[in-house]
Amino acid sequence: MSLQSLNRRRFLQSTALGAAATFAAPAVLRAQGQPVKVGILQPVSGAMSYSGQQGRIGATLALEEINASGIKSLGGAKIEPVFGDAQSTPEGGNAEVEKMNSAGCAAVVGGYVSSICLAASQTAARYDLPYIVDVGVADSIVTRGLKNTFRLGPGFGVLAKTAIDNLITLNDAAGKIAKTVMIIHEDSAFGSGLAKLLNTQLPEKGFQVIETIPHPTPTRDFNNVVTKIRASNPDIVIPADYYNEYVLLARTMQQQKVRPKAIYSVLGGAASSYKFVKEFPEAAQYIMDCNHWFDPKNPKALELKKKVEAKGEFFTYEVYMNYSAVLLLADALERAASADRAKIIAALESSTFSGHVMPYGPTKFVNGQNQGAAPVNTQVLGNDIQVIFPAQFASAKPVYPMPKA
């Protein structure tokens, strides 16, 4: 019967596929000087593709730098990247980590979205494969007790706290002019987690949250949301979105001439993006953001910025966070003097890495979370993005409230 023969053929194909993958997998142990494989996992296609591609740029630049001299303690071994596309879904991330594991990767860096980081790091944990989260900010990433997972950047808790503290400082300095807040957020782990934190913490600090509006990613029309904002007329609008939605929301607000006292975002996907400022300077004007940012006083960061801009790319947070995450791994490899996974994990646990380009305190990992990680506040002023808080990194004074158009 034809069905049976077809199933046999299918079966043979799938086993051949499996066999090919087994042969392709090299031994994990390697001699000195041999390249160390590292998985670079990014969502380079799908809804998050822009961020994923930016992240890949950062990782690639870091690898170029590392490979110029190699890992000294491994006899000048180079890091060989194994690029993976998570296709903007957790299953995609999971499948790529499986491939990276069987390709003999010593560690994986990336993930970008919280949900991909959660799934991918868990899969990596099955194989004790070290996993460095580049961005993913959900607190649950580092509170699951996974030994293999590390995050150099800040999580929600720290981000929301810093954002609220800075908002209060800002508002107090201006004579407490703002009392009401409206939160617009995307409805996955990142936006909702943040909205939840803000909803509990803002009222404690004397702000009234009038309304919280979730929306999915992607959303292609914000007219209704902006109409609601106009009707409720809050003093401050807090958006927490990924890049495209953020831009669209800001532009719709500009078109409908909705101008609150401040657009103050927490991890606003575009709020502190050079791309946004260059493409839509009017919509971006005066927007404040509490976000990941490079250290503007670090010469290495400025050099990296020049390099990225010379390539015709924008210097977005994905770039320097992935750059820093890959350097963190290289430092751990250097100190571990081995591509052994357990030794890399031990080296990461005891890391005091300071070669990154972020405005962080001293690196110290507790349960995989870097205690020194912190965000900064930025504001779009003119054609540039300035750091307004904290004082030791600030490059401009905040403009608040937003001048009426």
Partner 1 sequence: MKSYASIAAVVALLACVPLLTASNVALNFMVVALLIALVGQGWNVLGGYGGQYSFGHAAFFGTGAYVTAILQVHYGLNAWLGLVIGIAAGALIGAITGALSFRSGLRGSYFALVTLAFAEVLRIVASVAPITGAGVGTLIKLDLRWETFQFQSRAPFYWIILAFVAASLVLVKLMEGSRFGAYLVAVRENEDAAKAVGIDVLRVKLAAMTLSAAITAAGGCFYAQYFLFLDAGIAYGPWISVEALLAPIIGGIGTVYGPLLGALVVKTLGEVTKLATGDAPGLDLVIYGCVLILVVAFAPQGIAGLLRRRA
Alpha-carbon distance of 172 to 176, in angstroms, equals 5
**Which positions touch partner 1 (CB under 8 A)?**
1-4, 6-8, 10-11, 13-15, 17-19, 21-22, 25, 44-46, 49, 52-53, 83, 85, 87, 89-91, 94-95, 98-99, 101-102, 115, 118-119, 122, 125-126, 138, 140, 144, 146, 185-193, 195-196, 214, 216
Both tokens assigned to 186: 């995307």
Side by side, the strands of the sheet bearing 369-370 are: 79-85, 36-42, 107-110, 131-133, 149-151, 369-370, 365-366
Query: Which is closer to partner 1, CB of 269 or CB of 359?
Result: 269
Alpha-carbon distance of 62 to 13, in angstroms, equals 39
Query: Which is closer to partner 1, CB of 89 or CB of 232?
Result: 89
Query: Which is closer to partner 1, CB of 82 or CB of 394?
Result: 82
Query: Which is closer to partner 1, CB of 4 or CB of 69?
Result: 4
β-strand partners of 107: 38
Preceding omega of 90 cis (within 30 degrees of 0): no
Query: Which is closer to partner 1, CB of 20 or CB of 391?
Result: 20
We find the least distance from the C-beta atom of residue 188 to partner 1, in angstroms, to be: 5
We find the least distance from the C-beta atom of residue 242 to partner 1, in angstroms, to be: 13
We find the least distance from the C-beta atom of residue 144 to partner 1, in angstroms, to be: 7
Alpha-carbon distance of 377 to 171, in angstroms, equals 14
We find the least distance from the C-beta atom of residue 113 to partner 1, in angstroms, to be: 10
Query: Which is closer to partner 1, CB of 54 or CB of 351?
Result: 54
Both tokens assigned to 345: 């994990």
We find the least distance from the C-beta atom of residue 324 to partner 1, in angstroms, to be: 23
Q: Mind giving me the DSSP string for 302-359?
A: HHHHHHHHHTT----HHHHHHHHHHHHHHHHHHHHTS--HHHHHHHHHT-----S-S-
We find the least distance from the C-beta atom of residue 32 to partner 1, in angstroms, to be: 28
Check if the beta carbon of residue 35 is closer than 8 Å to that of residue 77: yes
